[in-house]
Structure formats: C-alpha cells, structure tokens
C-alpha cells in the first residue's frame, strides 16, 4: 500500500486492475490447439467471438470502474 492512502486504492489503480484482469486475448492458442487435437478442420474460427468477448469484457470493466469512481466522488 502507498503511504498516506489510508489503505484505499486510487481510481487509477482500480483501472489498472480492471485492465489486467479483463485481458484482451489476441490469439487463443490453447483453445485453438484443443480444437485442432479434437479434429477440427478450422481451429481458429473462434477468433471473432474471442475478440468480441475480450473487448466487451474490458469495456464493461472500465465502464463499471468509471461509474463507481464517479459515484464515490459524488459522495465526498
């Protein structure tokens, strides 16, 4: 913890945690290799769905962090 923060994470730190946790998956190699091992002819067909879900999870996480930060600011 940073000195002088009183044990409370800053809004910037919360945004960093959201970005690190939501992690955008560019190339899902594990899932593609499992699909290839299972006999799938096109194991990377899942890429658009993976990209969409990754972008949506980051967007929702950042939106939630921003809304909660604004809510906290309005309380103080």
CA distance 74 to 39: 55
6, part of any domain: no
Number of domains in the chain: 1
54, part of any domain: yes
Kind and range of the H or E run holding 73: helix 47-75
58, part of any domain: yes
pLDDT along the chain (76 residues), means of 10: 69 87 83 94 92 91 90 74
CA distance 33 to 11: 38
Name the residue range of residue 43's domain: 11-75
pLDDT the model gives residue 7: 75
pLDDT the model gives residue 75: 72
pLDDT the model gives residue 40: 94
């Amino acid at each position: 913890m940073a000195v002088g923060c009183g044990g409370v994470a800053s809004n910037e730190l919360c945004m960093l945690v959201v970005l690190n946790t939501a992690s955008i998956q560019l190339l899902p190699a594990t899932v593609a290799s499992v699909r290839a091992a299972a006999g799938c002819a096109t194991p990377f067909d899942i890429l658009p769905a993976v990209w969409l879900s990754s972008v949506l999870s980051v967007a929702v996480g950042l939106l939630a962090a921003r809304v909660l930060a604004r809510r906290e600011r309005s309380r103080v």
